[in-house]
Amino acid sequence: MPTKNERVMLTVKPETMAAVRSVAEASNVPAASLIAQMLDEMVPMLNSMAAAATASKEKRVEAFDHLAEALGGAQVSAAQTQVELSRTRRAAVGAAGKKSNKSGSRK
């Protein structure tokens, strides 16, 4: 099937692939889609890292600014993910509690 996106062959450690498969199965998505989504979300950080590497080759002080930006972006992304996970957990606990109450009232 033709696609506008590039295909890339990766070689990863067995433990890395096991972790990816575990998340993919739990999320009910193909492993390749999970990896592609993770890379897509990393684009801003990758761009900052590329700018930092380019600046460091030229021995510019800007390299530190780019690295700081990349790390800041990673921290924001991690914090957002943590908040989303907390919300999802609370929703799951709430749903489980409601289900438990309904099944308990049938006795």
What residues contact 52, with CB distance under 8 A and at least 6 apart? 63, 64, 66, 67, 70
Residue 91: CB atoms within 10 Å: 10
* pTM exceeds 0.75: no
For residue range 36-93, list pLDDT tens digits in order.
998 888 888 788 778 877 877 777 667 677 777 777 777 777 777 777 777 777 777 7
pLDDT of residue 74: 73
3 state DSSP class of 10: coil
CA gap 34, 63 in Å, rounded: 31
**Of 14-23, 38-47, 91-100, which gets the smallest average pLDDT?**
91-100
